[in-house]
Chains A and B, each alone.
Chain A
Amino acid sequence: DTGVSQDPRHKITKRGQNVTFRCDPISEHNRLYWYRQTLGQGPEFLTYFQNEAQLEKSRLLSDRFSAERPKGSFSTLEIQRTEQGDSAMYLCASNPGAGEKLFFGSGTQLSVL
């Protein structure tokens, strides 16, 4: 598969639990982005990587959120002590360079009960 893949597609968890999502970008893309999308809103930028370096993290992002891209390939997004307000679609995207079009994954739908 040459597209961006995300795992899992759906995650249901109880408030206070930790969750981790994985994203595999298109292999030749050195940039990887995480977005969050809630109903009726566009994708909201969370963070992005160039290779293994995390270059920017949204100021709106709680300290409970952390992302890694250890070898410059796949990335993980972890949310600690989940809250009901974290319920959203978490989207991953990649592109080959600055300002280029984004290729999106199908997303991980998180529901916090």
Chain B
Amino acid sequence: AQRVTQPEKLLSVFKGAPVELKCNYSYSGSPELFWYVQYSRQRLQLLLRHISRESIKGFTADLNKGETSFHLKKPFAQEEDSAMYYCALSVDTGGFKTIFGAGTRLFVKA
């Protein structure tokens, strides 16, 4: 069965510290992975996707097929990074749908 696991519900770091939000997936097909973010009082929006291999707001994520992971990283956290982060996997079930992990709340302390 397809599944996305985010083991940490809450991650608290100090401003300027590195941050890593963990994501593991289970899927027998070729994975298409995303990170979505929800800032306070805003709608859920895309942060980045693995196929783009780009850095958004200083965040990067590398797909590791061997470990079935797609961890989100940033070398120096900023207060404005405080938000809910969801890892998501697009799966082909005859069409394509996206399934989400439970999310990790990142809190960056001043």
Which A residues fall within an 8 A CB radius of B?
Answer: 33, 35, 40-45, 48, 50, 55-56, 91, 93, 98-99, 101-107
Which B residues fall within an 8 A CB radius of A?
Answer: 4, 6, 9, 32, 34, 36, 43-46, 49, 86, 88, 90, 92-103
| Min C-beta distance of A77 to chain B, whole Å | 16
For the A-B complex with A42-B6, A103-B45 known, give 18 more contacts whose Cβ atoms are closer than 8 Å. Answer: A33-B98, A40-B9, A42-B100, A42-B103, A45-B97, A45-B99, A55-B95, A56-B94, A56-B95, A56-B97, A91-B44, A93-B44, A98-B90, A99-B96, A102-B36, A102-B44, A102-B98, A105-B43
Contact B34 A98 (CB under 8 A): no
Give the 6 A-B CB pairs with smallest separation, nearest first. Answer: A42-B100, A98-B96, A104-B44, A101-B46, A55-B95, A43-B100
The residue in chain A whose Cβ has the minimal distance to the Cβ of B87 is A42
Contact B86 A42 (CB under 8 A): yes
Contact B98 A42 (CB under 8 A): no
Contact B101 A101 (CB under 8 A): no
Contact B102 A98 (CB under 8 A): no
